[in-house]
Structure 1
Amino acid sequence: MTTKFSILSLHASMQQKEKIDLKMEKEPRRIIFGSTPIIFLFSLPLLYVGVDFFCGNRISMDRWVQYFSSSETSFNKTIDDKEFMNFHLSRLVRGEDRRNLETSGFACDKTFHSLVCVSNHPVRIDTNNMTVYVPSDSQNETVVRPYAKQESELEVITPVHMIQYLNTTITPPDCQYTHQVPAVIFSSGSTGNVFHEMNEIITPLYITTKHFQSRIVLILEDYKPSFMSKYGKILAHLSSHEVINPGINKSVHCFPGSVVGLRYHDNLAINSSEIPGGYLMSDFKHFLRQAYSLKFEHVSQIGKPRLMLLSRTNTRRFLNEDEMVSLMQELGFQVIVVRRSKVISNLSKFTQLVNSCSVLVGTHGAGLTNELFLPTGAVLVQVEVLGTEWGSNHYYGDTAPAMGVKYLRYKIEGEESSLSKLYGRNSSVVMDPDSVYRNGGYIKARAVFLDQQNVRINLLRFRQTLVEALSIVTNLER
């Protein structure tokens, strides 16, 4: 009996040992397999480094390793201000320009649209005449009009003179103020048009400066109180320092480095592969929500669907606006009609209002730029009037998906346009709008299609678009 029990115990022990050995054989494989996603995640920064390293945008490997081995906070603490500045300034130029910056301390990055000049050497900026003095081993002068779209009419943009000088030839003015972070010089332009302001100033400013983590001083050329009133909160989220107005400052400032000009990608667009840090349009929208303290991130957070109707008072007006509002209310929308007023000029309040809406409706025009403040999942309905197809698509329709906004196009027919009465239903203006561009150019076409045209919506046709919009914003399982 004892012998039988011992044999059984020995057999059980051997089985148990086999199970343990088998488990030990399998365990390393299970651990390795389980770590694969983690290894993949850690490899992504290295992949980004590789792309930057091998595509002409070389930054020394030790700086990349130091950057990616730390969180943003610890990174700031482990390197000094000069290393931080040099690293981020170098990311604004590429290829041969980056090598020039590393060897000479000055380089200009020129693309199809924009011109950005960078210095990582100490500079002196005289705001009396907007001159930047850059120490160099050669003497040269570069004139930059610091506006993102260089193909625009730049006569109204105050030029910045960047003078590379030898110590033996030029003595720059003495410093009156000394700063510990680099300067970024840009212009607010001459526009009061929200599309051009967001497209050619605010978005490029984000592209150019976000990766500095607020460690810059902004110098705003062509300073306008109205611009600061609208966009001051955005500027405050990009720089932790007071914005300098050269028009009243009139003094000499010393900076450890500088950036003159802003980088531009495309109409209301951010190309993540061309922006330091790889930010997306969704990141930009999140940034805007933070700047203006917007409440709604997703349309599903809004209760009853709200529709904002942009009501124009001059051209491209809705001639049967009251009937349109009645239709919208009949379908179940809470309707907000917005006309040019103080609420639009107060961007802080207006962005809150836009952000509370599920649907934004308007004819082709700058007001549709406010799709930037819509919550994700909202709908933009653009009423495309005659002769505006290209602008409607490129400015607002094509840009909406990257913003997380569903785009619906309502293209009017000839009889819905007031031009059919003005020129005749069968005129080339109505039947072939492109002919106006071909024969008279943009100036003539603008005078006809943007400045003379209003619209009387076909409510039966428009109802279908509104029903589709309602279906999108009420389908919370999307």
Structure 2
Amino acid sequence: MKLVKKFRPPVEPRSFGSGLIVGCFLVSMTFVMLSRNDISMDHLSILNCLPSSSSSSGDAAPMSSTVEEDTRIRLLGRTKQIDASFINPPDGKGEEGISSSCESNSSDCKTENDTQVLNGPSTGDFNESDGGAPERKPMCDFSDYRLNICDMEGDIRISGKNLSSVMLVTHTGSRERNESWQIRPYPRKYDRSAMAKVRPLNLTSLRRHQEAPECSVNHTVPGILFSTGGHCGNCFHDFADVLVPLFQTAGPFHGQVQFIITNQQGWWMHKYRPYLTKLSSYDVIDYDNDERVHCFDHVVVGLRAERDLMIDPSRAPRGHSIMDFVKLTRSAYSLARERAWAAGGPPGTKPRLLFIARGGTRRFVNLDEVVGMAREVGYEVVATEPDFIDVARFAHVVNSCDVMVGVHGAGLTNFLFLPTNAIVIQVVPLGNLDWIATNFYGDPAMGMNLRYLQYDISVEESTLTELYPRDHRVFQDPESIHKEGWLRLGDVYLKQQNVRLNVNRFRPVLEKALQLLHERN
């Protein structure tokens, strides 16, 4: 009260002026302090779903409860945007099993596949102990709906068998916050069934004074650490989830890169060794069974990817496209034919047509009849099942053909080996599978400079008629089956169904393919 009375009138003009200066100074300082808080929070709000807790070192200034609440609101808004991108990927279609949760009001930020931000990066603008130098960028990017990737530079130490960790030893001041992440390096993070089969990796940044394992091997080239777990073993996923993404990630290094593989399986390595040796000049490191500490200056953990079996040149390093991967494939397996059959060639030559003869589900039950019709149309016909292990042998069979016919399924992935301008005919079973067929095989085939024809079977051509009455919802309301989830859909329309082609109905499709060969070659 005494202070208040001091400024009550009447007062000396000089005393009033002094008080006014002091008051203005106090107000200014308060405004500056509040502004600094707001600036700090603005930087927090643009981070990708990171916790609002203080630094692990305990050096960060405490935030008021009001500021903490504001952070949670802003982070929650970002979280909802990320979740929506998981459920509705950029191509506009959701996929069964997609899920994510990011609890911005807890100390962790997780998805249900156990990808975690255990302790995010520092949020300040500058590191005071480094003389105002900008802090490093976060070493991991979780923003993509399909994958998480960590691109790290510095003193990196990798220990697989015993510690399952990747450590970045930093050389910054003590005020910079540590980072701690856990990811599964496989580019299908929305698919819980796949990610459950991928070993989680712990990524941490350690300040120089903290203990770090001593290097056993020092590498002079960058490293790429990825998994061959997940759905590997299925031809489609081998290419869509690993080989094409690996090409995108490793291609810019021109072979001067070291692969470190977790969930490694001997048969998989043997099967795709031609790709691995084309993309890296070094023997692969078995992450799960190597006891040494490997040290690098640059490591990428995870693989870059976009849509399945497709590459966006505008996003790919050096503008690579899927055709660059096709060229790599032809080189890896010494595939001689670059273009499909040309009319006017040597007398008596016919275009070759390949039927992918599935041995399990979705097989042609009247294959012999269909092959006879194809020969009548004017093709030399080959009917065979893909070889699970000997990729090279089957790649040469496919490359020798000009038209490939197959029921929707992983076997169609072998169109990678076809020559340019060849024709892919996808036979689509019952079940409203048009989007799946086009997205996973039709669009990629056209992206590889192949021509694409689609044949949707009729009810009479499905063996489901032998299992269900004609008025069953399997025929009358396929969308009701879709709503029951991917497992139910797959069981009915993919596992239970085979195809009995109506040769008279299918014949015009083969005639159209022959016409296209004459027109374009």
Q: Tell me if TM exceeds 0.5.
A: yes
Superposition deviation, residue 253 in structure 1: 0.9
Q: Quick check: 1:408 aligned with 2:453?
A: yes
CA distance in structure 2 between the aligned counterparts of 1:270 and 1:157, rounded to whole angstroms: 24
CA distance in structure 2 between the aligned counterparts of 1:432 and 1:211, rounded to whole angstroms: 48
Q: Quick check: 1:314 aligned with 2:355?
A: no
Unaligned 5+ runs, structure 2: 1-122, 128-133
Q: Deviations over 1:20-77 (max 9, x none)?
A: xxxxxxxxxxxxxxxxxxxxxxxxxxxxxxxxxxxxxxxxxxxxxxxxxxxxxxxxxx
Superposition deviation, residue 105 in structure 1: 6.7
1:186 is matched with 226
CA distance in structure 2 between the aligned counterparts of 1:216 and 1:456, rounded to whole angstroms: 49
1:104 is matched with 136
Residue type of the partner of 1:148? P
Superposition deviation, residue 426 in structure 1: 3.0
Q: Quick check: 1:459 aligned with 2:499?
A: no
Superposition deviation, residue 122 in structure 1: 2.2
Q: 1:372 to 1:103 in 2, by over 3 A?
A: farther
Within a 5 Å distance, the mapping from 1:134-283 to structure 2 comes to 134-136=168-170, 137=172, 138-153=177-192, 154-168=195-209, 170-190=210-230, 191-283=232-324
Q: Deviations over 1:116-172 (max 9, x none)?
A: 10111121111223311102233221111100111122121111111100122x221
SS at match of 2:455: strand
1:381 is matched with 425
**Contact map agreement 1:415 1:425 (CA 8 A) in 2:** no
SS at match of 1:253: strand
SS at match of 1:164: strand
Within a 5 Å distance, the mapping from 1:282-301 to structure 2 comes to 282-300=323-341
Within a 5 Å distance, the mapping from 1:4-83 to structure 2 comes to none
CA distance in structure 2 between the aligned counterparts of 1:238 and 1:106, rounded to whole angstroms: 27
Superposition deviation, residue 472 in structure 1: 1.7
- Identity across aligned pairs (percent)? 36
SS at match of 1:121: strand
SS at match of 1:142: strand
**Contact map agreement 1:319 1:455 (CA 8 A) in 2:** yes
2:442 is matched with 397
Q: 1:425 to 1:141 in 2, by over 3 A?
A: same
SS at match of 2:485: helix
Q: Out of 218-227 and 296-305, give the one that drifted further.
A: 296-305
SS at match of 1:146: coil
Correspondent of 1:124 among 157, 178, 181: 157
Unaligned 5+ runs, structure 1: 1-95
**Contact map agreement 1:179 1:254 (CA 8 A) in 2:** yes
Superposition deviation, residue 395 in structure 1: 0.6
SS at match of 1:120: strand
**Contact map agreement 2:224 2:302 (CA 8 A) in 1:** yes
Q: Quick check: 1:366 aligned with 2:399?
A: no
CA distance in structure 2 between the aligned counterparts of 1:431 and 1:379, rounded to whole angstroms: 32
Q: Deviations over 1:176-220 (max 9, x none)?
A: 111101110000014310001100111111111111111110001
Higher helix content, 1 or 2:
1
Count of aligned pairs: 375
Residue type of the partner of 2:322? M
2:57 is matched with none
CA distance in structure 1 between the aligned counterparts of 2:451 and 2:414, rounded to whole angstroms: 14
CA distance in structure 1 between the aligned counterparts of 2:517 and 2:290, rounded to whole angstroms: 49
Correspondent of 1:114 among 147, 155, 164: 147
Superposition deviation, residue 433 in structure 1: 1.6
**Contact map agreement 1:271 1:280 (CA 8 A) in 2:** yes
CA distance in structure 2 between the aligned counterparts of 1:246 and 1:158, rounded to whole angstroms: 10
Residue type of the partner of 1:177? V
- Superposition TM-score, scaled by structure 1 size: 0.75
Superposition deviation, residue 306 in structure 1: 0.9
Residue type of the partner of 1:104? R
CA distance in structure 2 between the aligned counterparts of 1:475 and 1:428, rounded to whole angstroms: 43
**RMSD of Structure 2 on Structure 1 (CA):** 2.0
Residue type of the partner of 1:187? S
CA distance in structure 2 between the aligned counterparts of 1:189 and 1:292, rounded to whole angstroms: 24
SS at match of 1:162: strand
Q: Out of 360-369 and 466-475, give the one that drifted further.
A: 466-475
Residue type of the partner of 1:366? A
- Superposition TM-score, scaled by structure 2 size: 0.69
CA distance in structure 1 between the aligned counterparts of 2:487 and 2:180, rounded to whole angstroms: 36
**Contact map agreement 2:341 2:351 (CA 8 A) in 1:** no
SS at match of 1:446: helix
Q: Deviations over 1:378-437 (max 9, x none)?
A: 000111001122211111112211101111101001111111231122322113322211
Superposition deviation, residue 458 in structure 1: 0.7
2:99 is matched with none
